[in-house]
Chains A and B, each alone.
Chain A
Amino acid sequence: MSEDLPILACRDMSCQISARPKALDVLQNIDFTVARHTALGIVGESGAGKSMLVKSIMGIAPASVRVNGQIMLDGQDLFAMKPRDRARFIGRKVGIVFQNPMTSLNPYVPVGRQIAEACRQHFDVPRDEARQRAIELLRTVGIADPEDCYDYYPHHFSGGMKQRIMIAASLICHPDLLIADEATTALDVTVQKEVLDLLQTIQEQRQMSMILVSHNLGVVAGRTDEILVLYGGHVVEYGPTSEVFRNPRHRYTEALLSAMPHMDQPTHTRLRTIAGQPPSLANKPAGCPFAPRCGAAEGPCHTTMPDMRTGTDSRHRFACHFPLEQTVGPAVVSGATDRGARAQ
């Protein structure tokens, strides 16, 4: 439980779906750590395996999925635990907010009860106290009249409110890590920002760690310390957020960045989009997963999987045969990209 022990560490993790005629690799060679009190952004296109990664960590991957490798949560090897203990342990240490607030709450159960139930089970908190805690959390996440709302059913709330309630529910056991899997994708644009800001405030105030999953680089910019780019089930780039934004080395990250609107662009310039489709699970390329869509792909890209390399900043890693040059220059994206920058 020492302070410098990372809250979460995935070592050489992989996920396979048992299928016919052959098993499908959804995730391969996933390696990352989340230090205490920091936020990690996980970015990738739809189908990159972001949700699968989150579900594997939480122990709720579908039955047909084999999870291999090592996952250390708060210093404990999850796979060394009995399944029942593991589920309880994860439930106490990690809070999770899923993508769709409309379906994440059970329509048949009052919301207060859904918030309180986890601490009732995990810590035997008496009913009244659990109620008080839930009401307090409802207030924290910005629900008006929390006492009354405790007994309301989910259909009384809007999408944004439901997501706030989900955030409250994820906090009830005082988790050390909060995972938000595309927690705002299903919301209106204006509500998205409110919820993201709420997540960030809560993470900072409660000194938690956070994993912010999104297909949108703009979401993680300014809200995370580190960023991990997933493509076709592989980590293609991983490093400090400011570093990755300023000096993207992998071609896919660069493509993502230039597909992102930024402010010093003249209005009405066309955004660059990434041509082509992400690889399908059934026939993944033999070499770099991005090769079929990469402008710089050459011989080895199609045949050999690139190894992880380290940039000038030793925390910055990427898997590309022909990485972009290190260009320590002005930030690619105008405005702040990481919290250090924002704080200045």
Chain B
Amino acid sequence: MSSPGAPLVQGTRLGDIARAAMPATSMLKLPGGTLFEMLAAAFLVFLVLIALFVDFIPGLVSPKFPYGDFSQMPDLTLNGLLGTDDIGRSILSRVLYGARASLTIVFVATCLSVSVGLLLGMLAGYYRGMLERMVDLYANTMSALPSVLVVLAFVTATGTSVGAIILILGILDIGTYARVAKAGVISQNNRDYVLAARAMGATDARILMKEILPNLIPALTAVMPTLMAGLIITEGSLSFLGYGIPAPAPSWGGMIASSTDLLSRFPVLIVGPTMAIVLTVYALNTVGDYLAHRLNSRERGN
């Protein structure tokens, strides 16, 4: 540090810290994100492709029926790659079909909560008043209760079925989406383009759909991956506890639960489903963080 050219390495502004604090992979800046974030996004695309086309993977056996010996160690065949479970079913097949189950449930539930949440949030933000208070109350209530407890409470009354699980998971995040949408609408209510549209006699519906809605999309997209990751975990926990997708349909949580009985003798068999759920949640969180970060820096830039 004795030469006059020595840099002063100390400082605290957000942008600098965010830059300094990124993992070393940020050196490999790719358009739009770090290598790491691109990998996470690629993994999610891969997962969606699996979920869509798992039926067409040549040679993959059914996830529901035994195919080999009980608790077979992994080998280099396609179906035996991750071993077989306690009744001889291919774990790889179950992991891949489990991806379809998890993604379907989470996707449908998210569509449900986004559409209802968006509608409620937009109306609440635009008209305020009683509706806004109702939305707040709902969001507050849902945040006071752990999601697993909410789902279990419903399951107590309804019993488990895929339809019920999807419906209940869909209810969980309505409040959060509604709140995000509401905040977005409120921040736009007095913007020039909204006032101008109103002055020109546009109907409320038109203003909401044409002027306001498009600007809500980025914020909603940014919270979506993280909330979806939460749903994956909730759904996994339910299946683990035995209240998720009814057997024999494959689910990651259920597979982990059943492999715990064999854990002392065949610990390897838990690797497949564990990796599947951890990687999925990790990838969703990474993409979510990235989107939130992008959104924040763009808002600061404006």
A and B touch in the complex (CB under 8 A): yes
A residues bordering B, Cβ < 8 Å? 20, 56, 59-70, 77, 79-83, 87
8 A Cβ contacts from B1-44 to A: 1-13, 15-17, 19-20, 29
Bitwise, B68-93 to A at CB < 8 A (1) or not (0) is 00000000000000000000000000
Question: Does the CB pair B11–A69 fall under 8 Å?
Answer: no
State in angstroms the CA–CA spacing of A83 and B56 once bound together: 63
Q: Which residues of B sit under 8 angstroms from A83, Cβ to Cβ?
A: 1, 8-10
Whether the Cβ atoms of A63 and B11 lie closer than 8 Å is yes
| Contact (Cβ within 8 A) B11 A79 | no
Nearest residue (CB) in B for A63 is B11
Interface centre among B1, B20, B29 (most CB of A within 10 A): B1
Q: How far is the CA of A260 from the CA of B78 in the complex (A)?
A: 81
Chain B residue at minimal CB-CB distance from A66: B7
Which A residues are CB-close (under 8 A) to B7?
66-68
B17 A63 Cβ-Cβ under 8 A: yes
Determine which of B4, B10, B16, B20 lies in contact with A79 in the assembled complex, contact meaning CB atoms within 8 Å. B4
Which residues in B have their C-beta under 8 angstroms from that of A81? 1
Assess whether A63 is in contact with B6, with CB atoms less than 8 Å apart. Answer: no
A-B contact pairs, 19 of them (CB 8 A): A56-B8, A59-B10, A60-B10, A60-B11, A61-B8, A61-B10, A62-B13, A62-B15, A63-B9, A63-B12, A63-B13, A63-B17, A64-B11, A64-B15, A65-B11, A67-B7, A70-B4, A83-B1, A83-B8
Whether B11 and A82, one on each chain, are in contact in the complex, defined by CB atoms closer than 8 angstroms, is: no
Which residue in chain A gives the minimum CB-CB distance to B29? A20
User: Does the CB pair A66–B19 fall under 8 Å?
Assistant: no
Which residues does chain B contribute within 8 Å of A79, judged by CB atoms? 1-4, 6, 8
Residues of B within 8 A of A68 (CB): 4-5, 7
Set of chain B residues within 8 Å of A67, measured between Cβ atoms: 7-8
B contact residues around A66 at 8 Å (CB) = 7-8
| Complexed CA–CA distance, A264 and B271 (Å) | 86
A69 to B4, CA, bound (A): 5
Q: Most A CB atoms within 10 A — which of B2, B3, B10, B15?
A: B10
Residues of B within 8 A of A80 (CB): 1-2
A63 engages B4 (CB within 8 Å): no
Chain A residues with Cβ below 8 Å from B29 are 20
Instruction: Give the distance in Å from the alpha carbon of A337 to the alpha carbon of B15 in the complex.
Output: 41
Q: How far is the CA of A322 from the CA of B141 in the complex (A)?
A: 72
A52 to chain B, nearest CB (A): 12
- Alpha-carbon distance A70/B5, docked complex (angstroms): 8
Q: How far is the CB of B14 from chain A (nearest CB, A)?
A: 10
B6 touches A64 (CB 8 A): no
Question: In the complex, A70 Cα to B8 Cα: how many Å?
Answer: 12
Check A64–B19 contact: CB distance below 8 A: yes
Closest chain-A Cβ to B119's Cβ sits at a distance in Å of 40
How far in angstroms is the closest Cβ of chain A from B291? Answer: 21
List the B side residues contacting A60 at CB < 8 Å: 10-12
Q: Which of A60, A61, A70 has the most CB of B within 10 A?
A: A61
- In the complex, what's the smallest C-beta–C-beta distance from A65 to chain B, in angstroms? 7
Tell me the nearest residue of chain A to B19, going by C-beta.
A64
Q: List 14 additional A-B contacts (Cβ < 8 Å) besides A62-B15, A63-B13.
A: A59-B8, A60-B12, A62-B16, A63-B9, A64-B11, A64-B16, A66-B8, A68-B5, A69-B4, A77-B4, A79-B6, A79-B8, A81-B1, A83-B10
